[in-house]
Structure 1
Amino acid sequence: MKDSIIIVSGGMDSVTLLYEMRERIALGISFDYGSNHNKREIAFAKLHCERLGIKHIVIDLDFMGKYFKSSLLEGAEAIPEGHYEAENMKSTVVPFRNGIMLSIAAGIAESNGLKYVLIANHGGDHAIYPDCRADFIKAMSDATRLGTYPGIEVMAPYTDITKTDIARRGKALGINYAETWSCYKGGEKHCGKCGTCVERKEALRDAGIDDPTIYEGWHQYY
């Protein structure tokens, strides 16, 4: 039964969730909020939704690029390099991004007679992204349930698992992760050095997947 909307960025996590839950998903939503890598991600979100026969729409959130403060919105040179555990990675937070996206998705779900909004936040996000943590997701689900007539709920099945766990699920599903985008710099190739590139490489390595990603400057990874 098609009862769900998914927020699908085009990255590893949301694409994996898209395939896992495809039987329930009526609509995929991507948000263009002006980040360096948005366009590259959204192209893959569209590709996978079309492949699965799932309607896909893009919502423009250009006001975030105009009024919000984040290195993600300031061009590739502003993106810090290193591991997510490093303090400087906090600069990549886009304030309340998931709260805004979930609110819009809940309204679209109610307007389309759907009951659930799916989001692919995971355990590795918790260190620096407050709107990816379990308490936040629960609070948002409570808010959407109480603030809509059908009681829209947020489903975030990856909240307490790692990106490596997600990659293992993707491997079992036969997902080609070359058809996903992670790099925050949004160049022609993955930079291989920003926090999300480092996390991507570690997850694929630890899941036993030969990394198909083309990185700047080299072709053998981890």
Structure 2
Amino acid sequence: MTPSVSPVATPAVVIYSGGMDSFTVLHRARHEGYALHALSFDYGQRHARELEVAARVCRQLDIEHRIIDIRAIHELIDHSALTDTSRPIPEGDYDGDNLSATVVPNRNMILLSLAIAHAVNIGAKKVFYGAHGGDHILYPDCRPEFVDRMNAVAAVANFEPVDICAPYLHADKRAILGDGLSLGLDYSDTWTCYLGEPLACGQCGSCKERLAAFAAHGIADPLPYREPAHGR
């Protein structure tokens, strides 16, 4: 699918959660010929399924990958259903009214700051992350104005400017999946569900958005779901 990366290829950092969006970003950047340095972050999220998937994919692709342990900040960002296991994960459609409980305060600013530092440290000029248009209604740190302002900061925070790249900033999940399918990607190598159970729940907003994207392309999602999975 993708030629081997040249030893002299331009380095780039990718924030890689193991989810569907960052998986596609990782492969898009790889397809464009960058020598990738993938970073995943353990910030005390309620499960590690995505991190396990990310590690496996990077091993298979021989991509340098680090899982960075920043759990020390958990108590600063634990007022979210994604970081507090005592709070229920909301079910239903992917929208702001329903899923506001899943917002993790300042998450992308924290992760991007660390990724920018790593980029400067290794001489990379770009940091990729998976913000996309479907998240604009819910997550402020996935909106174009956030990316613009972070890019302005990344240009002056160090002597070496770094460009923050969000290739799907104006694309929805259907378009992201379409691009990934054009690259021949296998989305069984991703994890999207907010829960970390053996099977995806099919009920949370993240699952429902993913299932809708596959349905829009007229194909089955390769992930196994609990039955019944609404929207399949």
Q: Is the 8 A contact 1:171 1:209 kept in 2?
A: no
The residue aligned with 1:47 is 56
| Count of matched residue positions in the alignment of Structure 1 and Structure 2 | 221
Is residue 178 of structure 2 the alignment partner of residue 178 of structure 1? Answer: no
Q: Is the 8 A contact 1:72 1:78 kept in 2?
A: no
The residue aligned with 1:24 is 34
Query: What does 1:145-156 correspond to in 2, within 5 Å?
Result: 145-156=155-166
Equivalent-residue separation in structure 1 for 2:217 and 2:86 (angstroms):
29
> What residue identity is the alignment partner of 1:136?
F
Q: Is the 8 A contact 2:126 2:163 kept in 1?
A: yes
Percent identity between the two aligned chains: 39
> What residue identity is the alignment partner of 1:49?
C
> What residue identity is the alignment partner of 2:64?
K
Equivalent-residue separation in structure 2 for 1:168 and 1:177 (angstroms):
12
> What residue identity is the alignment partner of 2:94?
Y
Question: Counterpart of 2:41 in 1: which secondary structure?
Answer: strand
The residue aligned with 2:5 is none
The residue aligned with 2:131 is 121
Aligned-residue offset at 1:219: 7.2
TM-score (norm 2): 0.90
Segments of structure 1 that go 5 or more residues without pairing to the other structure are none
Is residue 7 of structure 2 the alignment partner of residue 6 of structure 1? Answer: no
Question: Counterpart of 1:71 in 2: which secondary structure?
Answer: coil
Question: Counterpart of 2:94 in 1: which secondary structure?
Answer: coil
Aligned-residue offset at 1:138: 1.0
Equivalent-residue separation in structure 2 for 1:208 and 1:169 (angstroms):
15
Is residue 149 of structure 2 the alignment partner of residue 139 of structure 1? Answer: yes
Question: 1:161-183: per-residue Cα shift (whole Å, max 9, x none)?
Answer: 11100101111111111110001
Query: What does 1:1-222 correspond to in 2, within 5 Å?
Result: 1-22=9-30, 23-37=33-47, 39-68=48-77, 69-75=79-85, 78-85=88-95, 87-218=97-228, 222=232
Aligned-residue offset at 1:153: 1.2
> What residue identity is the alignment partner of 2:92?
G
Question: Counterpart of 1:78 in 2: which secondary structure?
Answer: coil
Greater helix content = 1
Change (3 A) 1:90 1:219: closer
- The root-mean-square deviation of aligned C-alpha atoms, in Å, is 1.6
> What residue identity is the alignment partner of 1:55?
E
> What residue identity is the alignment partner of 1:208?
G
Segments of structure 2 that go 5 or more residues without pairing to the other structure are 1-8
TM-score (norm 1): 0.94
Question: Counterpart of 1:109 in 2: which secondary structure?
Answer: helix
Aligned-residue offset at 1:125: 0.4
> What residue identity is the alignment partner of 2:206?
T
> What residue identity is the alignment partner of 1:102?
L
Change (3 A) 1:124 1:220: closer
Question: Counterpart of 2:202 in 1: which secondary structure?
Answer: coil
Change (3 A) 1:64 1:187: farther
> What residue identity is the alignment partner of 1:200?
R
Equivalent-residue separation in structure 2 for 1:198 and 1:178 (angstroms):
16
